[in-house]
């Protein structure tokens, strides 16, 4: 309620604020504040002999003194003061609109636990459930939106685990209960035996200290669908390119990479790590394609059934599946949505790997 309404006083309305605290957890309503505004403003404009103090006014209305005092101070149009010469208190008028706005604002701050208010919890639910963001991404954006006193990430996870924030464990992206154990040691694939194994990759590539080392993978359409996505991610900055493929073939992959090179998007490529999919097995053709920017580029292949060896791109694929779950036919996904997915993933703040930076920020700094 905005502004100062001037309701007409009637006996039935004035009785609604009597005995307010006889019912537990009851508070002034918007209508009661309008009545109180009329009663109090008439009182403060009376003469000295007939004007009531807050204590006497509260007693007359059968409302506890502290309750009345807090409510009047909530909506007063100024500060009460004591005139030492006249030896009496002077009180400003009461605004029902101001009191209602203040009550609504404070009510929005009530919520789960001590650190997460109802307003924060509602915003967190919106970011995680409706916008498909991780808790860290949601917290980062809530701070950017101007929310005050946003708690640390572990506090959000504490409330998620206790189920009292509106987001349950399992409703956030990638909150697994247990880690799957690897049964057998990795072995080299029988396909592409002449290709370089990840065992031959220089150790500095694994340390992520140099820009320009990429991981590459493909994401398939559903059964009966056409094509898929080519995904490239830079290991140091986590910057990703997501490109639509009309078919998951070696020729389609080379054509997509050729377009990226021609556009100037791929400027620094020192190595590529990928799996043993048929679309990547022709290492000589891929290396020849990259010769225009780096004649010394090498392509390394992971072991068979060892997806964790290119974990950066596998993690990126999981991000993609948040927006395009299994069963998606990528030939029916508009290019603007694929571009929007790429922009969203590159805008995720990464606390552990990039010290709070997004992949976009890290890429601009390193490229």
**349 and 208 within one domain:** yes
Beta bridge partners of residue 240, listed in sequence order = 233
Domain match, 294 and 231 both: yes
Q: What is the pLDDT of residue 281?
A: 92
23-37, 40-54, 62-76, 332-346: which has the highest mean pLDDT? 332-346
* Lowest mean per-residue pLDDT among 23-27, 284-288, 323-327: 23-27
- Does residue 187 lie in a domain region? no
Instruction: Give me the chain's average pLDDT, please.
Output: 85
pLDDT at 13 > cutoff 70: no
Task: Provide the whole-model pTM.
Answer: 0.64
What is the per-residue pLDDT for 214? 96
Alpha helix stretches (DSSP H) within 197-324: 203-206, 250-263, 283-290, 311-323
Residue 2 domain flag = no
* Whether residue 99 is found in the same domain as residue 28: yes
pLDDT at 84 over 80: no
Q: What is the mean pLDDT of residues 311-340?
A: 94
| Dihedrals phi, psi of 258, to nearest 5 degrees | -60, -40
Sort 230 into a burial class: Cβ within 10 Å, 0-12 / 13-18 / 19+.
buried
- Between these two residues, 352 and 128, which has the higher pLDDT value? 128
User: What is residue 297's predicted lDDT score, i.e. its pLDDT?
Assistant: 93
Q: Number of structural domains, the chain?
A: 3
Tell whether 57 is covered by a domain: yes
- CATH for 252: 3.30.420.10
Q: Would 186 be classed as within a structural domain?
A: no
Q: Which of 106, 123, 141 is the last residue of a domain?
A: 106
Average pLDDT over residues 144-164: 88
pLDDT value of residue 258? 94
d(CA 216, CA 299): 10
| Cβ density class 40-69: b for 16+ within 10 Å, e for less | bbebbeeeeeebbebeebbeebebeeebbe
What pLDDT does 176 receive?
52
Residues 98 and 156 in one domain: no
pLDDT tens by residue, 232-279? 999 999 999 999 999 999 999 999 999 999 998 898 999 999 999 999
- The answer as to whether 19 is a domain residue is yes
Asked which of 111-115, 172-176, 258-262 is least confident by mean pLDDT, the reply is 111-115
In a domain, 23, yes or no: yes
Helices (H), 93-236: 96-108, 118-125, 135-144, 153-162, 203-206
> In the predicted model, is pLDDT for residue 10 greater than 50?
no
Phi/psi at 243 (5° precision): -125, 135
Q: Is the pLDDT of residue 12 over 50?
A: no
Residues 26, 63: one domain? Answer: yes
Which is nearest to 62 in space by CA: 19, 22, 123?
19
Residue 344 and residue 208 share a domain: yes
If asked whether residues 96 and 119 sit together in one domain, one would say: no
Q: Is residue 4 part of a domain?
A: no
pLDDT of residue 82: 79
Domain-embedded: residue 190:
no
Q: Give yes or no: residues 241 and 315 share one domain.
A: yes
Whether the CB-CB separation of 313 and 207 falls below 8 Å is answered with: no
Let me know whether 343 and 246 are in one domain.
Answer: yes
Spatial separation of the C-alpha atoms in residues 40 and 54, rounded to whole Å:
9
Indicate if 144 and 250 belong to the same structural domain: no
Would you place residue 177 in the very low, low, confident or very high pLDDT band (cuts 50, 70, 90)? low
Q: Are residues 211 and 353 in the same domain?
A: yes
What share of the chain in percent tops pLDDT 90?
48
| pLDDT at 34 exceeding the cut of 80 | yes
Domain membership of residue 97 as a residue range = 11-106
Same domain, 236 and 334: yes
pLDDT for the residue 94:
92
366 — pLDDT class (breaks 50, 70, 90): confident
Name every residue whose Cβ is closer than 8 Å to that of residue 366 and which is 6 or more positions away in sequence. Answer: 211, 236, 237
């Amino acid at each position: 309620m905005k502004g100062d309404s001037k309701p007409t006083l009637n006996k039935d309305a004035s009785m609604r604020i009597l005995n307010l605290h006889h019912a537990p957890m009851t508070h002034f309503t918007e209508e009661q504040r309008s009545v109180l505004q009329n009663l109090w403003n008439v009182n403060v404009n009376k003469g000295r002999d007939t004007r009531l103090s807050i204590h006497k006014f509260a007693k007359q209305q059968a409302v506890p003194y502290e309750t009345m005092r807090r409510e009047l101070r909530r909506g007063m149009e100024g500060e009460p003061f004591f005139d030492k010469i006249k030896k009496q208190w002077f009180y400003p008028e009461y605004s029902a609109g101001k009191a209602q706005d203040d009550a609504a604002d404070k009510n929005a701050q009530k919520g789960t636990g001590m650190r997460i208010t109802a307003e924060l919890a509602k915003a967190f639910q919106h970011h995680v459930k409706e916008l498909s963001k991780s808790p860290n991404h949601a917290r980062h954006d809530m701070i950017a939106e101007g929310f005050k006193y946003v708690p640390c990430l572990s506090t959000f996870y504490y409330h998620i685990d206790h189920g009292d924030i509106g987001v349950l464990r399992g409703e956030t992206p990638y909150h697994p209960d247990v880690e799957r154990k690897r049964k057998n040691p990795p072995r080299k694939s029988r396909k592409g035996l002449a290709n370089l194994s990840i065992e031959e990759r220089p150790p500095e590539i694994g340390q992520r200290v140099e820009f320009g080392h990429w991981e590459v993978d493909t994401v398939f359409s559903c059964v009966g669908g056409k094509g898929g996505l080519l995904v490239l991610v830079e290991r140091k900055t986590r910057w990703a390119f997501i490109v639509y493929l009309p078919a998951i073939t070696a020729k389609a992959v080379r054509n997509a990479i050729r377009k990226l090179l021609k556009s100037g998007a791929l400027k620094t490529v020192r190595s590529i790590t990928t799996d043993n999919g048929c679309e990547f097995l022709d290492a000589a053709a891929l290396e020849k394609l990259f010769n225009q920017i780096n004649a010394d580029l090498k392509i390394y292949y992971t072991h068979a059934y060892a997806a964790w060896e290119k974990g950066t791109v596998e993690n990126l694929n999981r991000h993609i599946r948040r927006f395009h779950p299994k069963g998606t036919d990528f030939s029916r996904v508009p290019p603007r949505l694929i571009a929007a997915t790429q922009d969203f993933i590159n805008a995720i703040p990464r606390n552990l790997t990039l010290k709070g930076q997004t992949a976009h920020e890290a890429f601009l700094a390193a490229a």
